[in-house]
A and B are shown apart, each in its own frame.
Chain A
Amino acid sequence: RKEVEQDPGPFNVPEGATVAFNCTYSNSASQSFFWYRQDCRKEPKLLMSVYSSGNEDGRFTAQLNRASQYISLLIRDSKLSDSATYLCVVSRGGTSYGKLTFGQGTILTVHP
């Protein structure tokens, strides 16, 4: 079983739709969680960190469920510019914070 698993999609949604991605992780020692966005053939960029209490940034909401070991990302009112690959990232934290594991990514295409 992969340490971090995502549904690769692709998700094809119309503008204005709400779309949700899930990610599961297998290592219960994981401490830090992130969502990164990657445009085609470009470098990944941080979208948001994920906190236990959940957090929201504009149209984006991230949730963490430690008991079930999954992370989610909700995008409301999708824009064409949201089309990208979304990467779930998990870190062991503590002295192992440098050890990052990426999911394989979920492809989102938003169409007019």
Chain B
Amino acid sequence: EAQVTQNPRYLITVTGKKLTVTCSQNMNHEYMSWYRQDPGLGLRQIYYSMNVEVTDKGDVPEGYKVSRKEKRNFPLILESPSPNQTSLYFCASSPPGPYEQYFGPGTRLTVT
């Protein structure tokens, strides 16, 4: 089944404790992206990657890191999480070009 998977789905952590949210897709897509969704603000792009070893900042990259060492994986790293990073995070992938993005099921992160 073609899909985008994210792990974990739910995470409660404390300020300053490094964490990684994994994202994997099995559709051989070049493009992958991370978003966060907050009430009243909608979905905002954090980082995106057009291909392996190519990443670019989205609208809200501060406090996040990404890497794209393999085509299928695009992990999101929070080196020192803070409470303002409490949010619902979505990973997405698509073929190159302005095509449909396929979203993962989301990761709900709470930082206390």
Q: Which residues of A contact B (CB under 8 A)?
A: 31-32, 34, 41-46, 49, 87, 91, 93, 97-105
Q: Which residue of A lies closest to B47 (CB)?
A: A98
Cβ-neighbour of B106 out of A34, A42, A101 (below 8 A): A42
Contacts of B90 in A (CB 8 A): 43-44
Check B103 against A101 for contact (C-beta < 8 Å): no
Check B56 against A97 for contact (C-beta < 8 Å): no
Q: Which residue of B lies closest to A6 (CB)?
A: B42
Check A104 against B42 for contact (C-beta < 8 Å): yes
Contacts of A46 in B (CB 8 A): 100-101
Check A32 against B43 for contact (C-beta < 8 Å): no
A-B contact count (CB 8 A): 55
Chain B contacts with A in 54-112, Cβ cutoff 8 A: 56, 58-59, 88, 90, 96-98, 100-101, 103-106
Check B42 against A102 for contact (C-beta < 8 Å): yes
Q: Which residue of A lies closest to B50 (CB)?
A: A98
Tell me the minimal C-beta distance from B18 to chain A in angstroms.
Answer: 26
Tell me the minimal C-beta distance from B1 to chain A in angstroms.
Answer: 15
Check B106 against A43 for contact (C-beta < 8 Å): yes
CA distance A101 to B44 in the complex (A): 7
Most buried by A among B56, B101, B105: B101
Given known contacts A98-B33, A99-B56, A104-B42, A31 and B106 CB-to-CB distance under 8 angstroms: no
Given known contacts A46-B100, A93-B98, A104-B40, A98 and B105 CB-to-CB distance under 8 angstroms: no
Q: Which residue of A lies closest to B88 (CB)?
A: A41
Sort A-B residue pairs by CB-CB distance and give the 5 closest, nearest first: A32-B98, A104-B42, A43-B103, A102-B43, A46-B100
